[in-house]
Amino acid sequence: MSTPVLETENLVKVYGSGESRFDALKGLTFEIHDGESLAIVGKSGSGKSTLMHLLALLDAPTAGVVALHGRPVSQLKTKEVSRLRNETFGFVFQQFFLNAHQSVLENVTLPLKISGWSKADRERRGLEVLTQLEMDDKAENKAKDLSGGQKQRVCIARALVNSPAVIFADEPTGNLDSATSEIVEDILFGLHRDHGITLVVVTHDDDLAARCSRRLIMQDGMIVSEEHGVLVDHHVDSTLGTETDTDDDTFDPSQLGLEDQDEIDGADQAEQSEGGRA
Amino acid sequence: MKSFDVAKTALGNTLRSKLRTFLTVIAIVIGAFALTLTFGMGAGINKYVDHVVEGFGQEDEMYVMGSQEAAQEQGADDEGPSEYDADGDSGEMTMMGTSTLDDDDIDAVRDIDGVESVQAIVMIDVDYLEGADGEQWTVNRMGESVDARALEMVAGDPPAQDAMELAVPEAWVSALGGDSPSDVVGDTVQLGFTNLAQEEETVEATISGVSEPSVSQTGQVPTPSRELSEQINEAAMSGLPEEQPSTYIYAVAQVDDMEADETSIKEQLTDDGLTGMTLEDQLGMIQGIINTVTWVLGGFAIIALVAASFGIVNTLLMSVQERTREIGLMKALGMSRGKVFGLFSMEAIVIGLMGSLIGVGAGVGAGVIGNALLVNGPLENVVGLVLFAVDPISIVLITVLVVGIAFLAGTLPAARAAKKDPIDALRYE
């Protein structure tokens, strides 16, 4: 079995101290493998966002270890961590966080600008990614002139532009209507399937979570259950869940088949959910 | 992020809220403008003074005058009148607060080590100048032969010191029957004056050239050569049975190495009861005053700049606040604290640079135009006046200073931006 992309050991995050002490994460240990699609599911306050921040190296744990490609990152320098984030991760946020007055292309190439690419290389790579997402005709438009779905596509392009190993998506469909959500989800899972990009999705949207190959269900800073396999009926069935364990068995050969099925079902489901919610 | 991209992004960011940047820049412009004008005027007036100095004499000359103490009014101190001494310098005349020199004084100066030669300056009083056609023109004042080598000539040459020559001012050319300055060069003229017995005397001289008025007021009157002025003086002092002792207003000592010998020569002059002044002594004080005024005015301009720098702090703090999310995003996408700091500092520098370029440009423009208007207008009569000079070094220094102040002002907001936590910045509740 390959080295996990990300692994954690006894991850603890505590905010405040004394009476205002809040244990956001209470000792989590798990692994995320290359090419996996993982959903971190839970109500607000369950600690799922905190977990994503720690995984994405945006924050340092109070105790415990986060390792990237088998290498613990907690003791790395801030600058080194920044560089790792820039080169290894892509981010998709619910709120898009696009620069409204900048062009689509400028927004998409921001990570490359930060990592010091030349302007010509940046634009070439940016257009490449925009073409991949069928947004190349909007490259010169201002980000503020786009629709919500287009904005999220730009965000995905931005997350993809540095060819990341892992894409973190924080409620990627939270601000979109259901039809647009479907399209964005299709894009994300298409990338996951076609390019082997590891996908870590934080969501409370069951439909989105169901399309992932594994789900960590969180409650009060702990992983209360873990589910494997893509759910066809888009309903998180707790009977499929297993107790939290670090023993990873998601990489069974059947996964590919499941994903193929997912693709077909996904198309069906787009119609279904659209009809259902209308 | 590459430095070029940092600079470009910073420029783009400052242009994002144009009105705010504009208002901040205005404050900087005012400071930079005031600073440029002040130092430009200081440089201009100093230049004018330098020019005046040039006309007054040369750097290798020391002006020797009688001691100022000797000329002080009697009874000015508590000692009362001094006892008469027949052998003392009792016959000295005083003039303009300093006593005149006699031959003994000139000899004493000549004997001082380091003094190459001494030229005693006599005051000559010429009544009229008669042109080749016999017409006579009143001479109110004759120039001094020491000025001869500093004359600015329109035609011909300055009078040769050992020939009977003189230079006439440009304004005299038509009176002397010439159409253009070169017409009168080489003409012979008669100079008329009275001796001590009130008898008319004349001396013949050749016009060596035509001078134009200079900053130091030389060249506006006929300027004789040393030989001519000595001849006139000798003739003017004649007429009485007893030979009159020569008196000189001052003497000009040529010094080989002024820098090395200045102090020792001055000491020896003091011992001889004389005072020596170099060109620097005469004008150093004026320049000192001009420089002081320049620095005081410059100080006010710097206060204006400091006030403007708080405008930068304010603007950038607002900008950091507004762009919290953008900063958070950039940090999440891997921008280091240093680069975030650099980006915001660069915005301060861009504002400073815009302000200084506009301010210095406007200052130079206003200075040059104002100078032209004043010098060719109300102050036309002041020959060679310069009120404003463009000094490239001070312009560069002012720009650097303004940008430096802007950078310092930017450090606080930039540090605040650099400290922002990407998680807090990206939280959207």
Identify whether residues B50 and B86 lie together within a single domain: no
Q: pLDDT confidence of B243, banded at 50, 70, 90?
A: low
**Rounded Cα distance, B85 and B72, in Å:** 18
Taking alpha carbons only, the member of A81, A66, A49, A218 closest to residue B423 is A49
**Best mutation site among A59, A97, A118 for testing chain B: the one with the most B CBs within 10 Å?**
A97
Q: Does A103 touch chain B (CB under 8 A)?
A: no
Q: pLDDT confidence of A269, banded at 50, 70, 90?
A: very low
Identify whether residues B32 and B16 lie together within a single domain: yes
Name the residue among A86, A116, A119 with its Cβ closest to that of B333.
Answer: A86
What share of chain A in percent tops pLDDT 70?
A: 82
Q: Does A93 touch chain B (CB under 8 A)?
A: yes
The CATH number that applies at residue A264 is 3.40.50.300
Q: Does B149 touch chain A (CB under 8 A)?
A: no
pLDDT digits (tens, 9 = 90+) for B222-238: 888 888 888 888 888 77
pLDDT digits (tens, 9 = 90+) for B149-164: 777 788 888 888 788 8
Question: What values do phi and psi take at B65, rounded to 5?
Answer: -125, 165
Taking residues A91-95, what's their average pLDDT? 86
Q: pLDDT confidence of B56, banded at 50, 70, 90?
A: low
Query: How many domains is chain B built from?
Result: 2
3-state secondary structure of B36: helix
What is this model's ipTM? 0.77
Task: Quote the distance between the C-alpha of residue B395 and its chain's center.
Answer: 19
Strands (E), B135-249: 136-138, 152-156, 165-169, 188-194, 200-212, 223-224
**Rounded Cα distance, B380 and B373, in Å:** 9
**Rounded Cα distance, A99 and B16, in Å:** 11
- Whether residues B428 and A95 touch (CB distance < 8 A) is answered with yes
Residues of chain B in contact with residue A114, where contact means CB-CB under 8 angstroms, are 1, 330, 333-335, 339
Identify whether residues B9 and B86 lie together within a single domain: no
- Whether residues B333 and A91 touch (CB distance < 8 A) is answered with yes
Q: Does B332 touch chain A (CB under 8 A)?
A: yes
Q: pLDDT confidence of B80, banded at 50, 70, 90?
A: low
DSSP string of B233-257, one letter each residue: HHHHT-SSSSPPPP-BSEEEEEES-
Q: Can you give the pLDDT at residue B403?
A: 94
Does residue B256 have a pLDDT over 90? no
Residue A219 lies in a domain: yes
pLDDT digits (tens, 9 = 90+) for A218-262: 999 999 999 888 875 544 444 444 444 444 444 444 444 444 433
- Whether residues A82 and B331 touch (CB distance < 8 A) is answered with yes
In DSSP terms, A9 is beta-bridged to: A65
Identify whether residues B273 and B288 lie together within a single domain: no
Identify whether residues B267 and B297 lie together within a single domain: no
3-state secondary structure of A3: coil
Q: Can you give the pLDDT at residue B351?
A: 93
Identify whether residues B103 and B160 lie together within a single domain: yes
Name the residue among B325, B328, B336 with its Cβ closest to that of A82.
Answer: B336
Q: Rounded mean pLDDT of chain A? A: 81
Q: pLDDT confidence of A112, banded at 50, 70, 90?
A: very high
What share of chain B in percent tops pLDDT 90?
A: 18
Does residue B300 have a pLDDT over 80? yes
pLDDT digits (tens, 9 = 90+) for A33-45: 988 999 999 888 8
Taking residues B174-191, what's their average pLDDT? 84
Three-state secondary structure readout of B276-298: EEEHHHHHHHHHHHHHHHHHHHH
Identify whether residues B77 and B209 lie together within a single domain: yes
Residue A214 lies in a domain: yes
Q: Which two tokens mark B379?
A: 């102050």
- Closest-CA distance, A58 to chain B, in angstroms, reads 6
Cα separations (Å) of A111 from A116, A260, B303, B323?
9, 32, 42, 17
Name the residue among B328, B330, B421 with its Cβ closest to that of A114.
Answer: B330
Q: Can you give the pLDDT at residue A214?
A: 92
**Which of B242, B277, B312 finishes a domain?**
B277
Residue A47 lies in a domain: yes
Q: pLDDT confidence of A140, banded at 50, 70, 90?
A: very high
Burial of A208 (0-12, 13-18, 19+ CB in 10 A): buried
Taking alpha carbons only, the member of B226, B101, B240, B254 closest to residue B159 is B226
Identify whether residues B144 and B47 lie together within a single domain: no
Does residue A204 have a pLDDT over 90? no
Identify whether residues B154 and B264 lie together within a single domain: yes
Task: Measure the CA dihedral B125/B128/B129/B133, to 10°.
Answer: -170
Beta-sheet pairing, A71-72 with B200-212: unpaired
- Closest-CA distance, A95 to chain B, in angstroms, reads 7
**Which of B260, B277, B294 finishes a domain?**
B277
Identify whether residues B340 and B215 lie together within a single domain: no
**Rounded Cα distance, B235 and B68, in Å:** 30
Q: Can you give the pLDDT at residue B77?
A: 53
Taking residues A74-98, what's their average pLDDT? 87
Report the phi/psi class of residue A187: left, alpha or beta, with left for phi > 0 and alpha for psi in -120 to 50. alpha
Residue A74: which domain range?
A: 6-277
**Rounded Cα distance, B352 and A63, in Å:** 45
Identify whether residues B353 and B245 lie together within a single domain: no
Task: Identify the top-confidence range among A7-16, B144-153, B214-223, B274-283.
Answer: A7-16
**Rounded Cα distance, A81 and B331, in Å:** 11
Residue A1 lies in a domain: no
Identify whether residues B174 and B299 lie together within a single domain: no
Q: Can you give the pLDDT at residue B284?
A: 73
B12, closest residue in chain A (CA to CA)? A102
Helix (H) or strand (E) holding B130: strand B128-130
Residue B313: which domain range?
A: 3-54+284-426
Query: How many domains is chain A built from?
Result: 1
**Which of B226, B253, B277 finishes a domain?**
B277
Taking alpha carbons only, the member of B322, B365, B375 closest to residue B51 is B375
Residue A218 lies in a domain: yes
